[in-house]
Chain A
Amino acid sequence: MQGDAHAFRNLILKHSSEDVGKCIQCGKCTAGCPLTFEMEFMPNQILELIRTNQEEKVLRCNTFWFCVSCQTCSVRCPENIDIAKIMNTLRKLNIEKGMKPSPGGVVTFNKVFLDSIRSYGRVYELGMVMKYNLMTGQPLKDASFGPAMFMKRKIALLPHRLKELPLIKTLMAKSRRLME
């Protein structure tokens, strides 16, 4: 905890514009979060860990990968801290620093989703779901729904390619993960 005691707190402040120093640890965020049953650290504990400069512990845990951005915490926080935004910043920091995300499934899904956009400009659901299932070793997941989805014309058999696809590809190659 020595050295620059405010380093991690300031890093989060820089990228999310949120200051964890305002937190009084009332726990209302944790009380309202629908995903606490999956999290290693509770939302209020994450804020405390940031405040006490424990970067490694925070970035290696699974809490922010289970955040579903429902904003319940942010809307009810008495100090008006946008906790959901902090969780989002932690996700990006984790990837930026090349750390192993846990659980991996969420990042795999995100990458597959974005790959679909890179290839077609839109999400080709069939291709995306199949690729995701294969990559996460569950090839037959939700397969029972497949025929019904086709019959009801909820998902398309073939992808649609955008006219300005090259622009999208360049955009995705050049865009910056974290803005100042």
Chain B
Amino acid sequence: MTESSHDLNITLLTYTEIESVKGSIGNFEVTIRKKARSVNMSKCTGCGECREKCPQKKIPNEFDLGLGKRTAIYIPFTQAVPNVPVIDRENCIYFTKGKCQVCSKACPTGAIDYEQKDELITEKFGAIVVATGFSMFDSKAYGEYGGGRFKNVISSLHLERMLDSSGPSAGKVVRPSDGKEPHDVVFLQCVGSRDESKGLPYCSRICCMYTAKHALLLKDHNPESQSYVFYIDIRAGGKNYEEFVKRTQKEYGAIYIRGRVSRIYEKGDKMVVCGADTLTGTSVKIEADLVVLATAMIPNPDAAELAQKLHIPYDKYGFYTEVHPKLQPVESVTKGIFLTGPCSFPKDIPDSVAMSGAASVGVCAVLSKDELIVEPKIAWVDDERCTGCLNCVKVCPFDAIETREVDGVQHARVIESLCQGCGNCASTCRVKAVTVRGFTDEQVYAQIEASMGKV
């Protein structure tokens, strides 16, 4: 991250959102909203005095999923790039009550700017790479696992933060309820994943491996602990992955039990986990000190909204659609926009890195040419027939039809670089002014007649 922030050919715009995207491959016009940090980036030296002195210290830290606290003026995590803080206006004493301003007084360069506003900039880009990542499924949906009510039932990401030596508990895994170190820790795989009843029938790919990692690290950080992992199948298809899982069991003593857990309840200060061992055909009850749920990888909550802005298609879950899952995995259906990482489907680090390399080369291919070669099977408008109702403009999912004046009337015109040949316009046009090349009515009828042997 730090390297990329220093590279002369890279401009890092952080704390920003995409406002709108117009245009097409090679000629995207993107409006970006630079949100107000309340800190002047050119003056800030990253000394951290403001954060030290801020009196508002009790805000649950989002990065630590609420396990730790932060101040109102903050940086999201210690290695954040750039090292410039932002003021959380909803929790800042000055913005909510009008008093304080301690950060401004503490700042040696006068970088605090309470009047700062959002800024909108519009720039042209040749290609776009989407690497927006993923979110974690909220296990509240499982009432039988406590539905978010039990303090000692946490998600894997919570555990990950605890295992981090610069995290909220300095690397020691502790029970959120009383801060004690847990002895018996139960891990549940597939919480949300592979579950039709929750609408997520897919496998989230990474959980089997990171759970094995967690069980291993847990034993390392808390040597007195004993881990139990409830699984359905172990997916370890990667270089040295299978061996790693075996090692966790053999050398770090993790006990793997094949079966899903039906429910978890509190008994005194223990969590009773009611599971099954399908290999021996028995019910299994374990009294745990801590339970860790490997929750599913899901698209970000605003994934669909972003896709609409970018004019890229997405599936029923919200994962972005690539041209072909095997043969063209890094190109979105919309030309000039590339996909990498879990935004198109759950994947792990090696695959994300590989995809990013492929996407970068794809971008180079776009930017190194002056002309674009497109598929010929795209739509075109016959000006003789077009009545200017412009219904086709409304139904085009790629915003690939523009209007232009012909003899005083607005006619439709297809933007050839954007059109994907889906045919929505052709089927909508009431006067058959729009057709898709290669799929005219005459051609389709000819195919039907040939297949019925009427040639």
Neighbour of A77 across the interface among B197, B232, B259, CB < 8 A: B197
Query: Does B275 sit within 8 A of A, measured CB to CB?
Result: yes
Tell whether A27 pairs with B197 under 8 Å between CB atoms, given A32-B262, A33-B283, A36-B283.
no
Q: Which residues of A contact B263 (CB under 8 A)?
A: 31-32, 76
B432: CB under 8 A from chain A? no
Smallest Cβ-Cβ distance to A78: which chain B residue: B195
Nearest CB in chain B to that of A34: its residue = B283
Given contacts A26-B260, A31-B283, contact A80 B196 (CB under 8 A): yes
Is there a chain B Cβ closer than 8 Å to A110's Cβ?
A: no
A94–B455 Cα gap in the complex (Å)? 60
B194 and A78 within 8 A (CB)? yes
| 11 pairs, CB–CB < 8 Å, chain A vs chain B | A26-B259, A26-B278, A27-B276, A27-B277, A27-B278, A28-B261, A30-B283, A31-B283, A42-B282, A42-B283, A79-B196
> Interface code A134-157, partner B: CB below 8 Å = 1, 0 otherwise?
000000000000000000000000
User: Cβ of B69: which chain A residues have Cβ within 8 Å of it?
Assistant: none
Instruction: Say yes or no: A76 contacts B262, CB within 8 Å.
Output: yes
Min distance, Cβ A32 to any Cβ of chain B, angstroms? 3
Given contacts A24-B232, A31-B276, A44-B278, whether A79 and B260 have CB atoms under 8 Å apart is no
Closest CB in chain A relative to B122 CB, distance in Å: 47
* A31, A32, A42 interface centre (most CB from chain B within 10 Å): A31
Within 8 Å CB of A42, what residues of B?
276, 278, 281-283
With known contacts A72-B262, A76-B262, A31–B275 Cβ distance under 8 A: yes
Contact A31 B262 (CB under 8 A): yes
Instruction: Flag if A31 contacts B260 (CB, 8 Å).
Output: yes
Q: Which residue of B lies closest to A72 (CB)?
A: B262
A142→B315 CA distance, assembly (Å): 62
Q: Is B49 an interface residue (CB 8 A)?
A: no
Judged by a CB distance under 8 angstroms, whether A25 is at the interface is yes
Cα–Cα distance between A4 and B44 once the two chains are bound (Å): 77
B144 at the interface (CB under 8 A from A): yes
What is the 8 Å Cβ interface bit string for chain B, positions 186-198, against chain A (1 contact, 0 not)?
Answer: 0000100011111
Is residue A109 within 8 Å, beta carbon to beta carbon, of the partner chain? Answer: no
Report the bound CA distance from A31 to B274 in whole Å.
Answer: 6
Shortest 6 CB-CB distances between A and B: which pairs?
Answer: A32-B262, A27-B259, A31-B262, A31-B276, A27-B276, A28-B260
B258 contacts the other chain (Cβ, under 8 Å)? Answer: yes
Contact at B258–A27, with CB atoms within 8 Å? yes
A8 at interface, CB cutoff 8 A: no
Indicate the member of A26, A41, A77 with the most B CB atoms within 10 Å: A26
Chain B 71-112 residues near chain A, CB threshold 8 A: none
State whether A44 touches B276 (Cβ < 8 A): yes
A14-47 CB contacts (< 8 Å) to partner B: 22, 24-33, 36-37, 41-42, 44-45
* CB-defined contacts of B281 to chain A, threshold 8 Å: 30, 41-42, 45
Residues in A37-63 with C-beta less than 8 Å from chain B = 37, 41-42, 44-45
Q: Which residue of B lies closest to A73 (CB)?
A: B262
Interface residues in B172-204 (C-beta closer than 8 Å to A): 190, 194-198
Distance in angstroms between the alpha carbons of A33 and B283 in the assembled complex: 8
A-to-B contact residues, CB < 8 Å: 22, 24-33, 36-37, 41-42, 44-45, 72, 76-80
When distances are taken between beta carbons in the complex, the residues of chain A under 8 Å from B232 are 24-27
Contact of A79 among B197, B277, B278, B284 (CB under 8 A): B197
Complex CA distance for A104 and B227, rounded to whole angstroms: 43
Q: Which residues of A contact B283 (CB under 8 A)?
A: 30-31, 33, 36-37, 42
Among candidates B194, B195, B259, residue contacting A31 with C-beta atoms closer than 8 Å:
B259
Q: Which residues of A contact B278 (CB under 8 A)?
A: 25-27, 30, 42, 44-45
CB < 8 Å: which of A22, A27, A41, A76 contacts B275? A27
Q: Which residues of A contact B194 (CB under 8 A)?
A: 24, 26, 78
B280's nearest neighbour on chain A, judged by CB, is: A42
B287 → chain A closest CB, angstroms: 15
Q: What's the nearest-Cβ distance from chain B to residue A38, in Å?
A: 11
Bound together, the chains give a CA A25 to CA B194 distance in angstroms of: 12
CA distance A22 to B258 in the complex (A): 18
Name the CB-closest residue of A to B233: A24
- What's the nearest-Cβ distance from chain B to residue A126, in Å? 38
Taken together as a complex, chains A and B put the C-alpha atoms of A86 and B415 apart, in Å, by: 57
Query: Cα distance A79–B282 when bound, in Å?
Result: 21
In the bound complex, how far is the Cα of B196 from the Cα of A26, in angstroms?
12
Q: How far does the Cβ of B434 sit from chain A's closest Cβ, in whole Å?
A: 43
CA distance A36 to B263 in the complex (A): 15
Tell me which of A28, A32, A79 has the highest count of chain B C-beta atoms within 10 A of its own C-beta: A28
A residues less than 8 Å from B195 (CB atoms): 78
Instruction: Give B417 Cβ to nearest chain A Cβ, in Å.
Output: 45
The verdict on A28 contacting B276 (CB below 8 Å), with A36-B283, A45-B281 known, is: yes
